[in-house]
Amino acid sequence: VTAASGTALGQGASATAQGAVALGQGALADRANTVSVGSAGNERQVANVAAGTQATDAVNKGQLDSGVATAKSYADSRFDTMADSFDVLRGDVAARLRDQDRRIDRQGAMSAAMLNMATSAAGIRTQNRVGAGVGFQNGESALSVGYQRAFSDRATLTIGGAFSGDDSSVGIGAGFGW
């Protein structure tokens, strides 16, 4: 023992730091306020250690394994919950995008139907004209029906509508010329 308050028990045990304890043959306690049961290259296990009960007690392997298992179980549970929530969110977003794609396709079909309705009635030179058109886009279809009244060679009024699934579109137009 070469340090104040140091203790060395065992053949060749050495306590070289203040308050250090060296236990067993060749044990070296060279850091202050530590207990050493071996030395570098000559480590030993401390066996039959009771479970710690106070905040400053050492833990044994059983306590450590139990704590790690509890932490792992908690982390796994939180991850699984998060993964489940993400899967639900991903499904909701995919469903909304599918619905949005269908609505866009219906709008495209209605636009095509309105265009075909208007152009089919445009060439008719009578006072009252009725036109119909159909349109298709990516598996969605629409029907359009319109009416046009020519008040004179210089003025017309047009009313038309298109329908596709739950979506519909209505338009009114007037034309003047001089």
For the beta sheet containing 140-152, the strands, ordered from the edge strand earlier in sequence to the opposite edge, are: 128-137, 140-152, 155-164, 167-176
Give me the torsion for CA of 124, 133, 109, 157, rounded to 10°.
Answer: 50
Q: How far apart are CA 18 and CA 119, in angstroms?
A: 102
Convert the pLDDT of each residue in 105-127 to its tens digit. 999 999 999 999 998 888 888 99
The answer to pTM > 0.75 is: no
Convert the pLDDT of each residue in 53-89 to its tens digit. 998 889 999 999 999 999 999 999 999 999 999 999 9
Phi and psi at 99, nearest 5°, equal -60, -40
Phi and psi at 97, nearest 5°, equal -65, -40
Is 90 exceeded by the pLDDT of residue 94? yes
- Domain ranges in the chain are 1-45, 107-176
Q: Which CATH architecture group holds 1-45?
A: Sandwich (2.60)
Fold designation for 107-176: Pantoate--beta-alanine Ligase; Chain: A,domain 2 (3.30.1300)
On average, the pLDDT of the chain sits at: 94
Instruction: Give the helix/strand (H/E) hosting 118.
Output: helix 61-122
What pLDDT was estimated at residue 104? 96
